[in-house]
A = this chain, B = another copy of it.
């Protein structure tokens, strides 16, 4: 199935998202911040997390399930740590504010570690670590999300796709930027196969009884994704372990909902039976390199590491290993120039938002 797309300039989409957020009661400054996270995803070709999600955020704002004017508060603090209550705000705003606290603490004392409760979906995990790299620091970012993944050996959704991100600055090379879910594949791959009527490979998901399935519709209906590693023979317990780390640092440590008690992102998804904490949780970390080693030496070795891995002899049929962050950076360069390709259903949603809010969208028509 060929999905036709129309390309829109990033700045047009950024301005539109910003103005739409403002119409839903978000302050100018916060709307700018929120739009920046979404457009970063679109530029980096993580299409599922860009303006394709604008309507879902606005639905939650309209229904009062998100606070458009959150008072993001530090509720516990030491020199290198903080716990932040997001006041039920947009994760895109709460995440950025909390990450800034981690970065500021690291600049002041060497490292900063911030756990966050009472937030919501914060967009791409990679956005936050890029902020760290831009300030010359190592960045960490994690978030939980609503349950879509079985713990290995289980037949029920208990974990979110719980992504983990890291960034490491380099010297002449661009930073190493890692942004990975802890499931075998993202849910978007299942949804895309279902729409196309295609079967999916072994190791992606299970049906509602926890049996391996190749039918994406079964996963969407009542099944679940498998953790990274997929099965017992290939380290599927390790994906479960990583999801556990995210739940612990983002939720149990902050007082947020963990595991199956996280509220869903879209209005039409089933709500959890009860709450075990406040909202959704994140975790941010930042480390100043000069606390550990001469930054020049770090940058020189990071460059050498990148060169070493990039020059690995390729396996047959492969172009060789990728450096984490390369594909997204290349997409960003291309899309900054030639625009962001949107598929029809996303364009339709943005037009609906335009009609609802009066913010003009479609200068291309």
Q: Give the interface of A toward B (CB within 8 A).
A: 76, 78-81, 83, 109-111, 113, 115, 138, 150-156, 158, 166, 168, 176, 178, 180-185, 201, 203-204, 206, 209-211, 228-230, 233-235, 237-241, 244-245, 247-249, 251-255, 258-260, 276-277, 287, 289, 291-293, 297-298, 301-302, 304-305, 308-309, 312-316, 318-322, 324
CB distance from A267 to the nearest CB of B (A): 25
How distant is the Cα of A201 from the Cα of B232 in the complex, in angstroms? 12
Please report the C-alpha to C-alpha distance between residue A155 and residue B115 in the assembled complex, in whole angstroms.
40
Q: Give min CB distance, A102 to chain B, whole Å.
A: 11
Closest residue to A179 on the B side, CB-wise?
Answer: B241
Beyond A109-B78, A151-B309, A185-B234, whether A206 also contacts B315 by CB under 8 A is yes
- The listed residue (B111, B239, B252, B292) touching A254 by CB distance below 8 A is B292
A74 CB, nearest partner CB in chain B, Å:
11
Q: Name the distance in Å between A300's Cβ and chain B's nearest Cβ.
A: 9
Do the beta carbons of A178 and B241 come within 8 Å of each other? yes
Decide if A244 touches B324 in the complex (CB within 8 Å). Answer: yes
Chain B hits for A305, CB < 8 A: 247-248, 252, 258-259
Q: A213 to B235, alpha carbons, bound, how many Å?
A: 18
B237 and A322 contacting across the interface, CB-CB below 8 Å: yes
Q: Are A153 and B234 in contact (CB under 8 A)?
A: no
Pairs A–B under 8 Å by Cβ, sample size 7: A83-B293, A111-B113, A151-B321, A206-B315, A228-B235, A252-B298, A259-B309
Report Cα–Cα, A361/B312, bound state, in Å: 46
Asked if A292 and B115 sit within 8 Å, CB to CB, the answer is yes
A244 with B178: CB separation less than 8 A: yes
Residues from chain B with a CB closer than 8 A to the CB of A109 are 78-80
Contact with A253, one of B113, B182, B292 (Cβ below 8 angstroms): B292
Please determine whether A320 and B153 come into contact, CB atoms closer than 8 angstroms.
yes
- Report the separation of the CA atoms of residues A229 and B312 in the bound assembly, to the nearest whole angstrom: 19
When chains A and B are docked, how far (Å) is the Cα of A211 from the Cα of B315?
6
Task: Chain B residues near A252: list those with CB within 8 A.
Answer: 168, 298, 301-302, 305
Contact B228 A76 (CB under 8 A): no
Residues of B within 8 A of A203 (CB): 233-234
User: Beyond A166-B245, A210-B315: 4 further Cβ-contacts under 8 Å?
Assistant: A115-B292, A151-B321, A180-B238, A228-B234
If A81-B291, A109-B78, A305-B247 touch, whether A235 touches B180 (CB-CB below 8 Å) is yes
